[in-house]
Structure 1
Amino acid sequence: MNVTLRQLSAFVAAADTGSFTLAAERLFITQSALSSLIKELEQALGLRLFDRSTRRLKLSETGRELYPQIEKILHDLAGVVSEAGNLKALERGTVRVAVPQLLACTLLPEVMAGFHRQYPAVQLRLVDCAVESVMARVFSGEVDIGLGPEREANSDIQASELFRMPFMAVLPPGHALAKRRQLAWSDLSGQPLVTLQGQFTELLVSDVGEAARDLHKEAFMQVTFMTTALALVRAGLGVTLCMPYARMLVEQYGLVMRPIGDPVVERSFWIFTRRGRSLTPAAQEFLKFLQQRLQGPDTFA
């Protein structure tokens, strides 16, 4: 059995108008083409759908029984097409993004607000989590997109660099080092240093290299969240390190940031998506928007 949508549309149009002529006009086809579609449908089904007379076209008993079901098929299909159009036109849709806590409370809200102004019908859902669990959220399908510092990705994760930023020292404004416009890593020797747990500290010491020889990793106070580190620095319990994008949060804690050189150590931030899984139109547009906003030279000036 080979039933087409054109045949079903011809059947409903003919049933609604009671005339091949009017049905053909509704569908913008010739009367002979419409008559052929009806005949093809009857042959495919092996049923007579209309009782024909010289005065009026009427549904047969079988046609009357099938009409509600065929009309529903066409109505449901129209709904699917309309919904697909809405998704493509970003008249609706949902984007789920996983980001570490610091990005979630500094950089992402402004980006999300800009996207929402442009596409108010698209729902944005932010999942703030530990750095190490961003890729896991992407892999499980809990989110469409992950954003975070570079991490070793498995074969199921597609990773692309979004931006790079240098480390900054965060100090109380009355700290002796705060009087300098730029610091060297050797200036941090002997300072109580608050860092983040996990790969943050290991990668930092590795990247700083020889300049870190006087930084004793065992003496670092390691915490889970940057907000905790900032609170400890504000209490006078040490200094910490973070990225320039957190400047607003740092200032809210009453602290100051100073660049560190000799060497300049940068951290790259990446976009993570699930390999082999297509993004929705809304997620594709958000990804494009994210790249445009965060890859410009003056983004973090």
Structure 2
Amino acid sequence: MPATRLDPERLAREMNWNLLRTFVVLAESGSITNAAEQLRLKQPSVSVALKKLEDRLGQRLIDRSPGRFALTEAGQLLYREAVNINGSILRLATLMREVTPEISGHVRIAVASHVVCPIFDEVIGDFYAAHPQAKLSIDVITSMDAIAAVSAKRVSFALALVREKDPNLCYMPLCREVFGLFCGPRHPLFGRRNLTLDDLKGHGAVVFDNDRLQDALQDVTLLRARAALAAQVRGVSENLEEVRRMIMAGLGIGPLPKHVVVRDLRDGLLWQVPPFEDLPEVDVYLIWNPETVRNRAEDKLLHGLIARLEATPFADRIYV
């Protein structure tokens, strides 16, 4: 399809935003069939919408040759821009609805599952004591998905691990977690003292889904390597509670933030195994998108959290 010279003013005036929304869903779903199901449309309607958008832009957006469904270079560019546009449009109704004398907006936060931070809990408590009409929802997802949600303006902000920083987002250290290795009551090493790393060799492992060398928990991956646990992983989850459950059930030895399991250790539900020194320290970040137009509740909570972090030395936010 030959490219055409677009008039920016005319494009802005005549662009059908529903076509962009359809394209975003189509790009993310990976097929006409899946997109039609999500949009509750018939497949021909989705195909026609794609054709209209390609004709309007004068660019082929998706390569749909036999056995292939992939965004073209133009499609990838449009998808990046359309995600931001779609996110901004979705927020307009919320912003208009929440223009009231009281702060009563909806704050949506994305949080990596193993993030447990007392300062964050205190800030939320103080905020909702002062603004009881505000509403909060917390999505517990992977760090990668949390950052993607911030980038796409689908959430107010996120608390997540960071492997590589996106220059378009803002980052602020929230806290530091120290990970240890633990086993449950059914495990043969449970309750045994004077254990060494040699005692761990060959035992099965339970891991987080992002516990990989190239991911944010790479230091935890190296910790498992030091312990020479069996290569076969017996349990995996992106959720801390499920990793904890599998460790307690005896599936294997697994990593958990030490400050999160203090009560479990005291109650005899978990047992820490070597190593006990040089444990991995993982930084958790507060992440927000400076291009997101936030409602008053979002803005108030975000800046309240930033102010609390600025007033609290990082040394007091290291949980061991």
Normalization by structure 2: what TM-score? 0.53
Overall identity of the aligned pairs, in %: 20
1:227 equivalent to 2:241? Answer yes
Q: Is the 8 A contact 1:98 1:146 kept in 2?
A: yes
Task: Tell me what 1:192 maps to.
Answer: 204
2:300 to 275, 285, 288: 285
What's the offset of the Cα at 1:264? 2.2
What's the offset of the Cα at 1:246? 2.7
What's the offset of the Cα at 1:216? 5.1
Q: Is the 8 A contact 2:247 2:253 kept in 1?
A: yes
What's the offset of the Cα at 1:113? 3.8
After superposition, the Cα gap between the structure-2 partners of 1:122 and 1:206, relative to the gap in structure 1 and judged at 3 Å, is closer
The unaligned stretches of length 5 or more in structure 1 are 1-79
2:182 to 162, 165, 170: 170
Distance 1:226 1:145 in 2: 20
2:157 to 145, 163, 166: 145
Considering only CA atoms, is the larger Rg found in Structure 1 or Structure 2? 1
Q: CA deviation digits over 1:27-59, x for unaligned, max 9?
A: xxxxxxxxxxxxxxxxxxxxxxxxxxxxxxxxx
Counterpart of 1:285 in 2: which secondary structure? helix
Q: CA deviation digits over 1:158-199, x for unaligned, max 9?
A: 222111111022322575354449x7766643332201123x
Task: Tell me what 1:297 maps to.
Answer: 316
What's the offset of the Cα at 1:275? 3.4
Q: Is the 8 A contact 1:185 1:212 kept in 2?
A: no
Q: CA deviation digits over 1:132-164, x for unaligned, max 9?
A: 210111111110101111232323222221111
1:158 equivalent to 2:170? Answer yes
The unaligned stretches of length 5 or more in structure 2 are 1-95
The answer to which of 114-123 and 127-136 deviates more is 114-123
Aligned partner letter, 1:142: R
Distance 1:211 1:229 in 2: 15
Task: Tell me what 1:129 maps to.
Answer: 141
Task: Tell me what 1:218 maps to.
Answer: 231
Distance 1:107 1:222 in 2: 31
1:97 equivalent to 2:112? Answer no
Task: Tell me what 1:45 maps to.
Answer: none
1:272 to 263, 287, 295: 287
The answer to which of 252-261 and 116-125 deviates more is 252-261
Distance 1:132 1:253 in 2: 33
> How many residue pairs are counted as aligned between the two chains?
215
After superposition, the Cα gap between the structure-2 partners of 1:252 and 1:282, relative to the gap in structure 1 and judged at 3 Å, is farther
Task: Tell me what 1:52 maps to.
Answer: none
After superposition, the Cα gap between the structure-2 partners of 1:296 and 1:257, relative to the gap in structure 1 and judged at 3 Å, is farther
Normalization by structure 1: what TM-score? 0.56
What's the offset of the Cα at 1:255? 2.1
Distance 2:174 2:267 in 1: 27
After superposition, the Cα gap between the structure-2 partners of 1:109 and 1:120, relative to the gap in structure 1 and judged at 3 Å, is same
- Superposition CA RMSD, Å: 4.0
What's the offset of the Cα at 1:93? 2.2
